[in-house]
Amino acid sequence: MSGINARVSPVGSLELLSQSETSALTDGTDNRLYSLFRQCCLAVLNSGAEEDDAKSMLEKHRDFDIRLEQQERGLKINLTSAPVSAFVDGEMIKGMQENLFAVLRDIVFVDHEILRSDRFDLENPEEITNAVFHILRHAGTLIPAKALDLVVCWGGHSISRTEYDYTKAVGYQFGLRGLNVVTGCGPGAMKGPMKGATIGHAKQRIRGGRYIGITEPGIIAAEAPNPIVNNLVIMPDIEKRLEAFVRTGHGVTAFPGGAGTAEEILYLLGIKLHPDNRDMPFPFIWTGPKSSADYFRNLDEFISQTLGPEAQQLYTIIIDDPARVAIEMKAGFEKVREFRRQNSDAFYYNWMLKIDRDFQMPFEPTHENMAQLDISLEQETHLLAANLRRVFSGIVAGNVKEQGINAIEQHGPFEISGDKRIMQMLDDLLAAFAGAGRMKLHGEYTPCYRVIT
C-alpha cells in the first residue's frame, strides 16, 4: 500500500534518547521492542480509519517502516510509506506528530524504567500501583490541582450514530461545567465525549481543556487514537490501563458498548465491592439515549444475577438526559473531594483505592487460560467479578487483537464454562451484543468464543 515518506521532529515530549535506548529500537525481525514501537506508531498515524482488526491493519500497511535518527541537535524520526491521512499538504498533522512522540516516550520509558528495571516488583500490588503512577507522571498526566474535574468515559468503538451523538451531548454538558475527559482514546464512545467537551469548553472560554487517552499496545492498533486526544498514554497491558483510569479519574460514565465496555464495568464493580472500598465515594453512571435502554436493562440484569443487589447499588442508570448526567457527576465529585480531604489523599491520584492482586496481574487470554476460569457463585463476589472481567477481556482479544485473532484462527473459538445459570445469561448477553452490531465495526461477526451451557 503506497504512503508518504517523511522526516519528523519531536513535538511535545522526548527530544533525546540515550545510545542504549536508540539501539533497542533498531530494526530486526526478532526485535520485540521495535515491532511494538512500529505497531503503535502505525496505529497513531492511522487515526480515523474505519477498521477494528489489528491484524488486517498491519497487513494493509506492511510496507510501513520507522527509523530513529539521533543528531547533535536532537532526535528525528524517518517514516517510510506512512498513511496518507496523517498529512496535510505534505506536513504531518500536529496532533498526530505529538502522539507519535508520545508513543516513543512511553515505549522507551516502560521498557527501560518499568519492565527491565529492578525498581518495581510487578508481582506486588503496591509496586504495580507505584509503576502505574510513574508512567502517568512521566507522561505529564498527573497535575496537582485544587479542582476535581476528570471524568472517565467508557463505551464501545462500534456504536450507532444515535448513540455517538448522545455521547457528544453528554461531553458537551461536561465541558460547560469545566470538566475534562479521559477515555480509551479510540473512536465511537471514546471520541464523542471529547468532541462534545471541546465545544463546551470553547463556549466557556476554557483554554487548555484536557482530553486524555489511555491505551495499551494490544488494543491501539484496533482502536487508533482519535484526533482530539491531546495527552496520549500507552500503558504496558490492559490491567495497568484499567488501573490508570480509576486512579486518575474522579468518576466514571459508561456509555453503550460491547465486550470491552462490559470488561471495564466489571473491573470497577469488582473494585468497589472490595470491603476496603465500600465507604469510598466514586460516582459511576451508566447512560445512553432511549434506544439504548434495553442494552442497560440487559447488563443490569446480568449484574443482578451474578454479583447481586449490592453491586447494583454501586451505579446509577440515567437514560436520555445528558444534563442530568453532568449535574450528578459534578455533585459526586464534591463527595470525592470531601472524602480525600478528610483522608489526606491526593486529588490527582487515588492512592487509597484498594485494588486486589486479581485485578492487577496480567491475564493472557490463551485457550487454556480461558477454559480454566472459575465462573461460579462459590467465591467472594469481587473475585467472581475479576474472573468475569477476564472472560470479556479474552473475547476482546479474540475480536480485535492480533495475538488473539491468530489464536482463534489456529485453534478455533475460546471455550468458556462454569455455573450453568451464569453461562446461559452470559451467552444471552453476548448474543445481544453481537445482534446489535457491538462486536465489530463492519461485516458479519463470527464469534471468537463458545459458551458451554
- The total number of structural domains in the chain stands at 3
Do 242 and 304 fall within a single domain?
yes
Element (H, E) at 154: strand 150-154
Phi–psi pair at 186, nearest 5 degrees: -85, -155
- Residue 126 included in any domain: no
**What number is the average pLDDT over the span 170-185?**
97
Residues 83 and 231 occupy one common structural domain: no
Residue 2 reports pLDDT greater than 70: no
Of 312, 309, 330, nearest in space to 253 by CA:
330
Check whether residue 314 and residue 409 sit in a common domain.
Answer: no
Say if strands 87-88 and 91-92 run parallel, antiparallel, or are unpaired.
Answer: antiparallel
Res 155 pLDDT > 80: yes
**Which region among 71-80, 243-252, 314-323 has the lowest average model confidence (pLDDT)?**
71-80
Cα distances from 51 to residues 95, 109, 121, 193, 259, in angstroms, run 20, 29, 37, 20, 17
Residue-wise pLDDT for 104-122, tens only, equals 889 888 888 898 888 899 9
End-to-end CA separation in angstroms for the chain: 45
Q: Do 308 and 395 fall into the same domain?
A: no
Helix, strand, or coil (residue 11): coil
3-state secondary structure 366-433: CHHHHHCCCCCCCCCHHHHHHHHHHHHHHHHHHHHCHHHHHHHHHHCCEEECCCHHHHHHHHHHHHHH
pLDDT of residue 73: 59
pTM score of the predicted model:
0.91
Asked whether residue 135 is domain-assigned, the answer is no
User: What whole-number distance in Å separates Cα of residue 414 and Cα of residue 403?
Assistant: 13
Write the single-letter amino acid at 50: E
Is 359 part of any domain? no
Grid coordinates representing 445 are 461477526
**Domain membership flag for residue 327:** yes
Write the pLDDT tens digit of every residue in 266-307: 999 999 999 999 899 999 999 999 999 999 999 999 999 999
Q: Which of 147, 154, 142 is nearest to 178 (CA)?
A: 147
CATH of the domain at 42: 3.30.1850.10
CA distance 196 to 287: 15
Q: Say yes or no: 295 and 427 in one domain.
A: no
The residue out of 119, 151, 180 marking a domain boundary is: 119
Rounded Cα–Cα distance for residues 101 and 37 (Å): 11
Please tell me the predicted confidence (pLDDT) of residue 53.
Answer: 60
Q: Are 262 and 396 part of one and the same domain?
A: no
Percentage of the chain beyond pLDDT 90 is: 63
Q: Whole-angstrom Cα distance, residue 360 to residue 131?
A: 12
Residue 22 pLDDT > 80, yes or no? no
pLDDT score recorded for residue 440:
74
213 and 337, same structural domain? Answer: yes
Write a three-state SS string for 219-236: HHCCCCCCCCCCEEEECC
14-23, 128-137, 385-394: which has the minimum mean pLDDT? Answer: 14-23
The C-alpha cell that represents 319 in the structure block = 437514560
Examine residue 155 and state whether it is found in any structural domain, yes or no.
Answer: yes
Q: Which positions ≥6 away from 153 have C-beta within 8 Å? A: 167, 170, 171, 181, 182, 183, 189, 190, 193, 252, 253, 254, 255
The answer on 191 and 78 residing in a single domain is no
Please give the residue that has the higher pLDDT: either 160 or 441. Answer: 160
Residue 191 lies inside a defined structural domain of this protein: yes
What is each CA distance from 160 to 123, 297, 300, 396, 403, in whole angstroms?
40, 18, 20, 19, 28
Residues spanned by the domain of 71 = 4-119
- Could you tell me the three cell numbers for 417? 464454562
Q: Are residues 111 and 174 located together in one domain of the fold?
A: no
Domain membership flag for residue 356: no
Closest-CA residue to 245 (of 372, 153, 147): 153
User: Higher confidence at residue 252 or residue 186?
Assistant: 252
353 within domain boundaries: no
